[in-house]
Structure 1
Amino acid sequence: MLTYFARRMLEMIPVLLAISLLVFGFIKLLPGDPARIYAGDDASREAVAAARAHLGLNDPLPQQYLHWLAGAFKGDLGTTYRTQQPVSRVISAAFMPTLWLALAGFIWSVLLGLLIGVISALKRGKWQDWALMSMAVGGISMPTFWLGLLLIQFVAMPFGIFSVSGFNQPADIILPALTLGASVAAVMARFTRSAFLEVAQEDYVRTARSKGLRNRLVTWKHVMRNALIPVITMLGLQFGFLLGGSIIVESVFSWPGLGWLLIESIKTQDQPVIQALVMLFVFEFILINLLVDLLYAVVNPAIRLR
């Protein structure tokens, strides 16, 4: 497994390099003058020209990219145009709020989604199945920002328990986490039901039942264990979605995380922050996919990673 992990990490390098080049090119196409943002709205032409020279914006684009890449390998992601702070420091401050929000949304949505999916599969064709899957379809169809606004309007404001802006107390994470995880719970419910029913129709499951094994033992030892393999793939993808998809939720609740930071950086055309955040999201998705592959061998030891 260590050999497999090392090989995948090496394969990650050219992918990140290619994506970084694409991201750098797209960011340079954004309208606006970064030197003006760095120098300030009231800065003179001379000050803007000096800022452009200081930021290296007069250099050819290949040279600018190589300069950024060399700094990134050293852990230097540049300086923000708005506050002249190190980009790494700004991102570090916003990373933990996003991580806590993603974990909170992930935990409740996965537990509820798995439970609903298993119950729906066991009650296939009955009213419980119809009701639970109708709820799942509604959760998938509901726009995230709309659910967040509904929770603010009908839960936060009438009762005054939760803050509708920022992260001031532990309870403030509840509504954003519910908003963020709603669609994930719905997706997990439908996917778990499908995986469960597919495995339940396999020959080895029918053989186990024909041997007289108890239905509960067959369900949890044979069906659930094998149904978890495709579910784990979906778990990894959904957690990556939570990290990247938190942009909308953080905007609705003014949550001080990476998504909110990305929106604010786009508004102010803070290119170093945008570049670093996009690369961070890409790295997270690649790393999560690698961890999912490693979990396959944990859930089913028969799988060998090479």
Structure 2
Amino acid sequence: MVALVLRIVFRSLVTLFLLTACVFFALHLTGDPARIMLGDGADATALAAFRAQWGLDKPLWEQFLVYLQKFITLDMGRSYLTGLPVKEVFLNAFWPTLDLMIPTAIVTLLFGIPAGVLAALHRNTNLDKGLMFISVFGYAVPNFFMGVLLLLIFSIWLGWLPSYGNTTGWHYIMPIITMATSEAAIFSRYARSAMIEAMRLPCVKAAQMRGLPRRRIIWLHALPNAMLSILTIMGFFLGTLVAGAVITENVFSWPGVGKLLVQSVANRDIPVVQLIVLATGASLILANLAMDLLALIVNPRLRKSNN
């Protein structure tokens, strides 16, 4: 068990290192940061001073080693654009994003999983077909289109909800609906498949043969086994949530990480872009690590199969 946990953790650390290397070299190979920030009209003296100020006059491999050292100590440098510490710039945008992601995750799970389970328990009925139609529609509609559609209806036509910002609770309604619609659609379809498979398990069949009440069979036998399968997509859920936040925050002018990323890319602020991409990737790696460890705890068969 300990060896298995260490192997999972080591694999996550290797993935994090490879992600760090890919992000660093990919962003630095897109062009000379000094030329990008100062423009083509800058003279050689100004370019040399900028490179010396930000350590860009060193070989790329040496810059990478310095970056790794700073990454380990959580010193991510300073923004090219503002001169502020990158960590401070990121955290200022992170809290509004977290304020949006937490209620979105709650709404997603509260609607997505029960809808999938309900559809599975009424398989091939009109209820099942209706719920799956809604799921397919919710998944197929892009976030930016859903956001613009909600803005058009509830802000412009009806004037019920504010169109931008995050100062009141009313500002949260449309961004949460925009992000949760596609995420709940994914969970509902996956929960439906997982529940259908769980209802075919031998333990469920045995409980049915013993004459146990259907409600008891569902809650004590089928649903726990279905939840084990649903755990496998929890890690990916965070990634799609972050990706959706990038689009949604720009649609609704939400002052979060997604909006900061677009602004930083437009301004070629490489240190800020690096941190946002790394933080997003690291959160995915940590989420998947947590799901792998949780799966080992709740499913003894995984521990036995890896011994």
TM-score after normalising by structure 2? 0.91
Asked whether 1:248 is paired with 2:222, we answer no
For residues 45 and 170 of structure 1, the distance between their equivalents in structure 2, rounded to whole angstroms, comes to: 52
For residues 18 and 193 of structure 1, the distance between their equivalents in structure 2, rounded to whole angstroms, comes to: 35
Asked whether 1:91 is paired with 2:90, we answer yes
For residues 153 and 283 of structure 2, the distance between their equivalents in structure 1, rounded to whole angstroms, comes to: 34
What is the match of residue 58 of structure 1? 57
For residues 102 and 190 of structure 2, the distance between their equivalents in structure 1, rounded to whole angstroms, comes to: 20
What is the match of residue 197 of structure 2? 198
What is the match of residue 126 of structure 2? 127
For residues 112 and 6 of structure 1, the distance between their equivalents in structure 2, rounded to whole angstroms, comes to: 36
Q: Give the secondary structure class of the aligned counterpart of 2:183.
A: helix
Structure 1 position 222, deviation (Å): 0.5
What is the match of residue 113 of structure 1? 112
For residues 45 and 155 of structure 2, the distance between their equivalents in structure 1, rounded to whole angstroms, comes to: 50
Structure 1 position 12, deviation (Å): 2.8
Q: Map 1:171-250; keep pairs closer than 5 Å.
A: 171-250=170-249
CA contact (8 A) 1:240 1:288 kept: no
For residues 9 and 299 of structure 2, the distance between their equivalents in structure 1, rounded to whole angstroms, comes to: 23
Percent of aligned positions that are identical: 37
CA contact (8 A) 2:94 2:257 kept: yes
Structure 1 position 278, deviation (Å): 1.0
Bigger mean CA deviation after superposition, 279-288 or 152-161: 152-161
What is the match of residue 150 of structure 2? 151
Root mean square deviation, CA, Å: 2.3
For residues 248 and 195 of structure 1, the distance between their equivalents in structure 2, rounded to whole angstroms, comes to: 30
Asked whether 1:15 is paired with 2:18, we answer no
For residues 127 and 274 of structure 1, the distance between their equivalents in structure 2, rounded to whole angstroms, comes to: 47
* 1:125-177 superposed Cα distances (whole Å, 9 cap, x missing partner): 11111111111110111111000000111012334343222222232122111
Structure 1 position 84, deviation (Å): 0.6
Structure 1 position 303, deviation (Å): 5.3
What is the match of residue 25 of structure 2? 25
Bigger mean CA deviation after superposition, 244-253 or 152-161: 152-161
Q: How many residues align?
A: 305
For residues 280 and 217 of structure 1, the distance between their equivalents in structure 2, rounded to whole angstroms, comes to: 43
Structure 1 position 295, deviation (Å): 2.5
For residues 281 and 244 of structure 1, the distance between their equivalents in structure 2, rounded to whole angstroms, comes to: 9
Which AA in structure 1 matches 2:219?
A: W
Task: Report the CA distance shift for 1:69/1:95 in structure 2 as closer, same or farther (over 3 A).
Answer: same
Structure 1 position 221, deviation (Å): 0.7
Bigger mean CA deviation after superposition, 151-160 or 201-210: 151-160
For residues 186 and 120 of structure 2, the distance between their equivalents in structure 1, rounded to whole angstroms, comes to: 14
Q: Give the secondary structure class of the aligned counterpart of 1:134.
A: helix
**Is there any run of 5+ residues in structure 1 with no aligned partner, and where?**
none
For residues 73 and 266 of structure 2, the distance between their equivalents in structure 1, rounded to whole angstroms, comes to: 28
Structure 1 position 98, deviation (Å): 1.4
Q: Give the secondary structure class of the aligned counterpart of 2:232.
A: helix
For residues 52 and 188 of structure 1, the distance between their equivalents in structure 2, rounded to whole angstroms, comes to: 48
